[in-house]
A = this chain, B = another copy of it.
Amino acid sequence: MDRRLSEVEYEQHLHAARELLYDYLPLTDEQWEVFKQGFKIRNYLKGDFILNEGETERFLSIVISGCTRHYVMVKGEEKSFDFSFQHEFNCSYSSFIQQEPSMFFIQALEDCVLASIHYDFLQQLYLYYPESNKFGRTAVEQYYIWREQREISLMTDSAQERYIKLMEKYPIYLEQVPLKFLASYLNVKPESLSRIRKKILDER
C-alpha cells in the first residue's frame, strides 16, 4: 500500500464507488451516508500483492482504477485464472464467502485504487437491510455465470479459439494483460500463445 490520499481524492474515489455500485444497489443520499462508512479506499503500486495465498479475504472491492490479476500457485507454476479491470469487482470470492484462507494471490498489474467493503460491514448490512442480501446474492450469481462460461470454454474450445474470442469480446485483456499471464489464462504456455498469434497473423 502506498502514499496517503488527500481528503478530496478520498471523497472522489468514494463517489466513484457509489456510481459503480448503482446498477446493483441504487442508494438514496441518506442510505449512502450509512453505506460509505463501510468503505475503505486502498491504493497499491504495480506489482504489489493485494492478497496473499493463505490470507483470508476481508474485502469485497470495486476497482476504481488499474487492474489486478488473480492466480493460484500449483506445482511451482502460476496459473492466472481471473483479472479485475477498472470498474469491476475484485475479490478472492471463495475465501471471502467462507472467511477461510485464500488459495489465490491477487496482485496489482498496474497502480490500483480500490474501494473496499469490509466483510463484517457487509454482514451488518445483510442483517439490518435485508434487501442488501439480494445485492450479495446477485453479485455471486453474476460470478457464477462467469465461471460457468469459462469452464465450458476450457472444455470445448481450442486455445486458439479462446484467444480469438477473448480478443473479439474483451480486447481489454490484450491491452492490459502481459502475454505470459494471458497465456496462462488461456491455459497454454507463452510459447504456444506466440505460435497461435503468429498463425493468426500469417493467415491474414
Chain A residues with CB under 8 Å of chain B are: 72, 74-75, 77, 79, 81, 93-94, 97-98, 103, 126, 130-131, 133-134, 136-137, 140-141, 143-145, 147-148, 150-152, 154-156, 187
Contacts and interface: CB of A to CB of B under 8 A. Distances in A.
Given A81-B155, A94-B148, 17 more contacts: A75-B156, A77-B156, A79-B155, A93-B148, A94-B145, A97-B141, A97-B145, A130-B130, A133-B134, A133-B137, A137-B137, A137-B140, A140-B141, A143-B144, A144-B147, A147-B151, A154-B154
Contact of A144 (B93, B131, B150, B155): B93
Contacts of A130: 130-131, 133
A94 B144 contact: yes
Contacts of A137: 133, 136-137, 140
Contact of A151 (B74, B81, B98, B126): B81
A154 B148 CA distance: 12
28 contacts: A74-B152, A74-B156, A75-B156, A77-B156, A79-B155, A81-B151, A81-B152, A93-B148, A97-B141, A97-B144, A97-B145, A98-B145, A103-B152, A130-B130, A130-B131, A133-B134, A133-B137, A137-B137, A137-B140, A140-B140, A140-B144, A144-B144, A144-B147, A147-B151, A151-B154, A154-B154, A154-B187, A155-B187
Contacts of A154: 151, 154-155, 187
Contacts of A151: 81, 147, 150-151, 154
